Structure 1
Amino acid sequence: MVRPSSPPSFRLKAVLVLVAVVAFVVSPIWSPSFKGYDPTQFPNPVDAPAIQPAGWAFSIWSLIYLWLVAHALWGLLRHNDDAGWDRTRLPLLLSTGLGASWLVVATSMPWLATLQIWLMWALALWAMMRARDAGQPALCAGPIGLYTGWLTAASAVGTGVVLIGYNIGSEITVTLLMLCVVAAISLAIVLLARPPRTFAIAVIWALIGVIAANWGDGVVMLPASIFALALAAVAWRDLLPKAQAVGR
């Protein structure tokens, strides 16, 4: 049986996704060094805002980058005619395309970078929702879920840093507010949308980073820990009956 050729639009979008993802991955090369917003960019400079995870937590970007490249390559080479995969391409293309310029924007206009990362998140969420039924979750929904989960936390963190930097609320108030935003959004998505578990893993990783950065400060550690445990319980709730059955 001869396999039907893929629509030209499918192939074109698959190529464009690969180009956008690669541009996103290599963007640190042509962008200024970025290790968080420079405190001097704000009227109220804070060296280490409480909402910001420990530096090592950002290493998750290496996995996100590699997995997105694998997704784009596999999608082009093996799924360029797959309608399920194609449904994820437009939002992922737009999200990673915006991501390719995010570092440049962040080093000069933090408030605009905040708006940009929320738009990246919304587009990534759209792609993740479309990826749930695409097949081969390890290479389709998995990487998009990890990317979306991290953007969920990163968007709130970036917003918190900007609010603190512009004196719109105290550091603790803004930190607790943004932790609640992360918890509310991620729990709602997990409960209502049943995303890939990589989504929850990324959010929990970010919360662990916040806990580590605020070690010893119960005001931040306690809610961050509760939110991380709650998200884990909800994301893996379907395993509980199986575990109980094995125990019997």
Structure 2
Amino acid sequence: MVAAPALTPAFTGYDPATFPVRIDRPAIQPAGYAFSIWGLIYLWLLAHAAFGLLKRKGDPAFLRPALPLLISGLLASVWLAIASSAPLMATAVILVMGALAMLAYLRADPVQDRWLLAAPLAIYAGWLTAAFGVSVGVILAGYGILSNTASALAMLAVVIGVALVVQARRPAMPVYGATVVWAAIGVVVANWADTLMVAYTAIFGAALVAVWTVITLCRA
């Protein structure tokens, strides 16, 4: 999984020409800088794997999330290869990737070795939560099911709702919530100049998740 970016072309968004309704800038898509989080995700997952192999080999706490994380990582390589030309298939793949990442995260012990066990899985699951929302939003707008703005608003609501539920399940780990906030701020930046309804909604969503993350952390 960590080698995937070196083996596949850089992904900057679905090609607008592959959709019946051409939308050059989907409102749900965060600003380009937000995708730099992949570098941190890869490095943190690499640290997780190295620590698990060298210091916690055979430890049930590291074995429980290992299989879904491995499968999700393998699918990540497939997704990078097909995303630029097959958005529908890529959306289906990212759904499975995200579900497996979430399963791995929820299987991880939130206390033991938390910054090298639960935390890297949290950032991965959090970003895939947002990425799935972006992918579906682009599909909805690109196929004319919803307008560009309506699809962005709908998927922001879905992503924020999922984030609130998941954060409540793992209140002691703020990384998941923080990752979704990062994605939402990216949507704010992307839409601030021309789609204020989406920008304001993303601000509200980011604030809601941030406050909820702090509240759950304080209660943990």
TM tier, smaller: over 0.9
188, 201, 220: which one aligns with 2:198: 220
Unaligned stretches of 5+ in structure 2?
A: none
Q: CA deviation at 1:166?
A: 1.3
CA contact 2:164–2:209 (8 Å) conserved in 1:
yes
User: Residue 200 of structure 1 corresponds to which residue in structure 2?
Assistant: 177
Q: CA deviation at 1:133?
A: 4.0
2:23 is equivalent to residue 36 of structure 1: no
2:162 is equivalent to residue 185 of structure 1: yes
Question: Which residue type is aligned with residue 124 of structure 1?
Answer: A
Residues 133-157 of structure 1, C-alpha deviation per residue, up to 9 Å, x if partnerless?
4611111101100000000000000
Q: Using the TM superposition, name which of 138-147 and 210-219 deviates more.
A: 210-219
2:39 is equivalent to residue 70 of structure 1: no
User: Residue 32 of structure 2 corresponds to which residue in structure 1?
Assistant: 55
Inter-CA distance 27–128: structure 2 relative to 1 (3 Å threshold): same
Residues 154-193 of structure 1, C-alpha deviation per residue, up to 9 Å, x if partnerless?
0000111112111111111111000000111101111234
Distance (Å, rounded) in 1 between the aligned partners of 2:172 and 2:14: 30
Correspondences of 1:53-202 after superposition (within 5 Å)? 53-133=30-110, 135-194=112-171, 196-202=173-179
Q: Using the TM superposition, name which of 30-39 and 41-50 deviates more.
A: 30-39
Distance (Å, rounded) in 1 between the aligned partners of 2:154 and 2:22: 20
Inter-CA distance 61–42: structure 2 relative to 1 (3 Å threshold): same
CA contact 1:132–1:195 (8 Å) conserved in 2:
no
Q: In the comparison of the two structures, how many residue pairs are matched?
A: 218
Residues 202-246 of structure 1, C-alpha deviation per residue, up to 9 Å, x if partnerless?
1000000000001143311221111111111111115668xxxxx
TM-score by length of structure 1 reads 0.84
Q: Using the TM superposition, name which of 203-212 and 216-225 deviates more.
A: 216-225
Q: Using the TM superposition, name which of 147-156 and 215-224 deviates more.
A: 215-224
Distance (Å, rounded) in 2 between the aligned partners of 1:25 and 1:188: 29
Unaligned stretches of 5+ in structure 1?
A: 1-23, 242-248
Distance (Å, rounded) in 1 between the aligned partners of 2:180 and 2:217: 19
Distance (Å, rounded) in 2 between the aligned partners of 1:34 and 1:231: 27
CA contact 2:14–2:85 (8 Å) conserved in 1:
no
TM-score by length of structure 2 reads 0.94
**C-alpha RMSD of the superposition:** 1.6
204, 207, 210: which one aligns with 1:232: 210
Question: Which residue type is aligned with residue 149 of structure 2?
Answer: I
Inter-CA distance 30–58: structure 2 relative to 1 (3 Å threshold): same
Rg larger in structure: 1
- What is the percentage of aligned positions where both structures have the same residue? 44
Distance (Å, rounded) in 2 between the aligned partners of 1:79 and 1:234: 32
